[in-house]
Amino acid sequence: MSHKLHEHRKSYQKGMLTKDQAAADPVAQFGLWFEQVTQASGIEEVNAMTLSTVDQQGYPRGRVVLLKHFDVRGFQFFTNYASQKGLAIAANPQVSLSFFWPNLERQVHIKGKAEKLSQEESQAYFAVRPKGSQIGAMASPQSQVVESRAFLEQTLSRLEQQYQSDPVPKPDNWGGYLVKPIEFEFWQGRENRLHDRLRYTAVNDKWTIERLAP
């Protein structure tokens, strides 16, 4: 079976990005774009991002996770530390984050180093999760081989009964990561594939901005 996709084309015309327009700080620029994309229609989970890691065999792997907080320190997400992504980060904490916002024809790529959040920060976030999500985190041996869907559902049901009236404790192997960025790239689609690309690079605790060819 052959699928010819050369007719799948569109013209990008929704914006531009120049060095004069860009904020001096990339986190501020990210915050501006995030707010604009949030206010525009067409994206249900603006905070969805592709986290890319390299596993112990040297293979890259990307998966979509949810950004839960960002500030001048970096970008936070939460997961099971024994998952594939957790084991990959333990072996190689250098990761990348990618956001794609087609409603405004924008992408953001972030390169950085991931480190675990403190237990206090992880506990604080776990405490505000819906109870079903808390129990789900406890029930799932994430990335491990399981015998069946029924096994997971039975485990979930047992834990729901166990914690029906009690608070759910955070699993020891569940928590957050902070990705500390060293490089950002902001991409704005433009006509004729002459897209705008601005790269921020950290040099001596300051950010330099360069334009890249599309």
Q: Count other C-beta atoms under 10 Å from residue 79's C-beta.
A: 22
Distances, alpha carbon 120 to alpha carbons 45, 83, 124, in Å? 27, 21, 6
Q: What tokens does 126 get?
A: 């776990």
Tokens coding 71: 């500030």
Contact between 143 and 82 (Cβ < 8 Å): yes
Q: What separation, in Å, do the N-terminal and C-terminal C-alpha atoms of the chain show?
A: 32
State yes or no: is 193 an active-site residue.
yes
Catalytic residue among 73, 158, 193, 211: 193
The residues annotated as belonging to the active site are: 193
